[in-house]
Amino acid sequence: MDKPTNLIEYETMLLGRHVHMSARSKRTSAELDRSAYILLSRLHMEGRPMSIGQLSEAFGLDASTLNRQTAAMMRSGLVERIPDAEGGIARKFRVTDEGTRRLEEARTELVAGLDKVLADWTPEDVAGFAAFLKRFNTDIERLDGRIWPRP
């Protein structure tokens, strides 16, 4: 465990566990499952409706998986399927007002949780940690060939 990448692997495993357990322990009105949260975030950041094919390319997931996820989100009123404004054959998914509201509520709750965890950190440490996470994620995206839109 003395190699730094071994330590990073172990700590990211724990981070994933903490995030998963925290999400399971909280039952709120804004509750979104992990796939809905990520899909809504992507559609929101993309700023335009996306088809199953575009989502498949963006996430590296097969169409059947995305069809199941988007169908569940439509039943929950989080997204709606609309015709392609550019005249394409494929219908696209757009975040509904309810989807936006629940995404914003969920994000607010997650940020509040992070604020508690980081309460004793200096603003410089928080900014530095955010910068390293961004660098880590953008390097993963670069190697994977799937860049995530950012504000």
Residue 21, pLDDT score: 73
The one-letter amino acid at 99: G
Band the pLDDT of 6: cuts 50, 70, 90: very high
Exposed, middle or buried, 52 (CB in 10 Å: 0-12/13-18/19+)? Answer: buried
Residue 23, pLDDT score: 63
Angle made by CA atoms 146, 149, 151, in degrees to the nearest 5? 160
Report the candidate in 10, 82, 65 with the shortest Cα–Cα distance to residue 2: 10
Residue 51, pLDDT score: 95
Residue 1, pLDDT score: 61
Q: What is the mean pLDDT of residues 137-146?
A: 95
Report the candidate in 110, 118, 133 with the shortest Cα–Cα distance to residue 23: 110
Class of domain 33-144: mainly alpha
- pLDDT > 90? residue 128: yes
Model confidence pLDDT, tens digit, residues 8-62: 999 999 998 887 777 666 555 457 898 999 999 999 999 999 999 999 999 999 9
Model confidence pLDDT, tens digit, residues 61-119: 999 999 999 999 999 999 999 998 877 788 999 999 999 999 999 999 999 999 999 99
Residue 25, pLDDT score: 63
